[in-house]
Structure 1
Amino acid sequence: MKRYNIINNKNKRELVLLKASPCIWGHCSFCDYIDDNSLDTKSNEILNREVLKNISGKYKSLEVINSGSCFELPKKTLDDIKSIVISKGINKLFFEGHWIYRFRLSEMENFFKVPIIFKCGIETFNNKFRNEFLNKGAVFSSPLEVSKYFKSICLMVGIKGQTTDMIKKDIEYLLKYFKYGCINIYTENSTPIKRDDKLIQWFRENYSFLDNMDNIEILWNNSDFGVGGN
C-alpha cells in the first residue's frame, strides 16, 4: 500500500493516505475503500507517523486523505500533522469530510490555523440516484447549499444507471458553484455496482477539456493520485 506521493501538476502538493477509525457513514453502495481503516487507534497512530515522515514541505501544500473523513483520524495523528504544518511551513491543507460533518469544519480550521480546502464526496447532484441508489447519506436542497460549506466536491462518473443528462447537470453545477473539483471515473471493485464504459467514453469525448482547467482534476484511474493499492 503506497501512502505518500507528490502531485507535480495541478494544485502542486504532497499527498498522504492515512489510516483512521471506520467511516462515520460507511453505507455507500459503491465503496469498498472504507476497508482501509482500523479500530486499533495505537496501530493507526504508529503507521500514520511513519507516513508523515515523508513530508518535506516542498510545495507548502498538503492533502490528507483516509478511508472516510478527517474527523476520524486519531487525535495524535492530527497533532502530528499540526507539528508538520508548523515545522515545514505548510500554508494550505486539503481534507475530506462527509456531508454529516458540515457543521464541524471550523473545528479543523481553528486547530490548524491555516487555510483548509474541504472536499466532499457528492458523487452526483441527482438526489434520487445519490441517496437511493448510491446510498450516500447526503441530503441537501441545492448545490448552493453545499457550496456554503465545501469549496471542493468530488463527482463520480461512469456508473450503470447514470445518464448523460445527469452528468451534464453535475458538471454545470461544479463549474458554477465550486472553486475546486475532482471527478472520479468509476472503477469496479468488490461491490455489486457496475461500470458503464459507454458512458465513460461519452464523457471522455465531451468533457476531456476539463483536464486543461487548473481547478479540476479527473481521476481516469482510481490510482491517479499515486497512493493506495489493488
Structure 2
Amino acid sequence: MGIRYNKITDKHPREIVLLKSYPCKYGKCSFCNYIEDNSLDEEQIDNVNFPILDMVTGEYGVLEVINSGSVFELTPKTLQKIKETVIKCNIKVLYFEIYYGYHKRLDEIRNFFPGIEIRFRMGLETFDNEFRIKTYNKNFSLDENVLNDLSHKLYSVCLLICTKGQTKKMISNDIELGLKYFKNITINIFIDNGTIIKRDDSLVKWFVQNYLYLKDDDRVELLIDNKDLGVFEQ
C-alpha cells in the first residue's frame, strides 16, 4: 500500500498528490516502472483519486499533481475534481507533469484552470540526445531551437542521473544546461527498480561529494531517493 498525499515543508512548500491515471501515451521509457500504476478502468481511477484530492487543504496555496504519465492521461472527472479542489482550497499555483509529445497542447490545461499559475514539469532525463534515445528509450531529440521553445513553455525538467553508461561530464553538463534553460530542475538519483537501467554507485559517490551543495540552491530539487517527495505506490 503506497502513500498518495503528502506535504513538502522545506524547499518550495506545497501539497503533493500521486494520482492514478490511464496508461502513459508513450510508456516505453526503459527506466520506468510507474506504469504499473496505470488503469483502463475509469471508475476505478476516479475512486482512487477523489479521496486523495479531498485531503488537500490549500495550506500553502500550492498543489503538485503527479501521476504515472502526463496530466493528459488523467480522466475528465479527475481533472474536474482537481479544478473544484483548486477553487475550494484557494490554490494559486498548480504543478503538472507532461511528456514531450504533449508540449504543443499545454494551453489546453492553462485554459481549463483560468487564473491559476500552471507550472509544467517534463522528464527530459539528460541533454545528451544519444543517451536519452538509445539508453533511456525516449523518442525525442533536442536542439537549440527546441530547447529555447521548451524553456518558455516549461517551469522545470527532471534529470535522471547516476545510471550505468553515464559519465561525470554528462551529469555536470546536464546540470549546467538545466539551470541555463529552465527556472527549476529536479535531479533524480536513480534507484534500481527492476528495469534494465542500473544504478552506478561510483557516480552516486562522486555526485554526493561534489554536488550536495545543490540542496541549498532554490532552483534545484534534489531527490536522493525516489521516495523523497513522500508519495509512492509500490
TM category (shorter chain) comes to over 0.9
What is the SS of the residue equivalent to 1:148? helix
* Alignment partner, residue 118 of structure 2: 116
Partner residue in 1 for 2:203: 199
| Alpha-carbon contact 2:156-2:184 (below 8 Å) kept | yes
Q: Which moved more, 1:213-222 or 1:121-130?
A: 213-222
Separation in 1 of the partners of 2:72 and 2:47? 18
The alpha carbon displacement at 1:139 in A equals 2.1
Q: Which residue among 195, 201, 213 is the counterpart of 1:209?
A: 213
Runs (4 or more) in structure 1 with deviation over 3 Å come to: none
Aligned residue number for residue 187 of structure 2: 183
- In the alignment, residue 55 of structure 2 is paired with which amino acid? N
Residue identity in the other structure for 2:187: I
Question: Match for 2:220: what amino acid?
Answer: I
Q: Cα distance, 1:149 vs. partner? A: 2.1
Residue pairs, 1:1-230, within 5 angstroms: 1-113=2-114, 114-142=116-144, 143-230=147-234
Question: How far 1:215 sits from its partner (Å)?
Answer: 2.2
SS in 2 for 1:65: strand
Distance in 2 (alpha carbons) for counterparts of 1:26 and 1:126: 20
Could you list the per-position Cα deviations for residues 195-216 of structure 1 after superposition, in whole angstroms to 9, with x for gaps in the alignment? 1000011111111111001121
From the superposition, tell whether residues 138 and 148 of structure 1 become closer, same or farther in structure 2 (CA, over 3 Å).
farther
Q: Deviations over 1:31-61 (max 9, x none)?
A: 1111111000111011100110100000000
Q: CA deviation at 1:88?
A: 0.6
How far, CA to CA, are the matches of 2:18 and 2:140 in structure 1? 23
Give the TM-score normalised by structure 2: 0.96
- TM-score normalised by L of structure 1: 0.98
Please give the secondary structure, in 1, of the residue aligned with 2:122: strand
Which stretches in structure 1 are left out of the alignment for 5+ residues? Answer: none
Percent identity reads: 48
* Mapped partners of 2:63, 2:87: distance in 1: 12
Q: Give the secondary structure class of the aligned counterpart of 1:103.
A: coil
Distance in 2, Cα, partners of 1:82 & 1:110: 11
Q: Is the partner of 1:46 in helix, strand or coil?
A: helix
Amino acid at match of 1:152: S
- Number of equivalences: 230
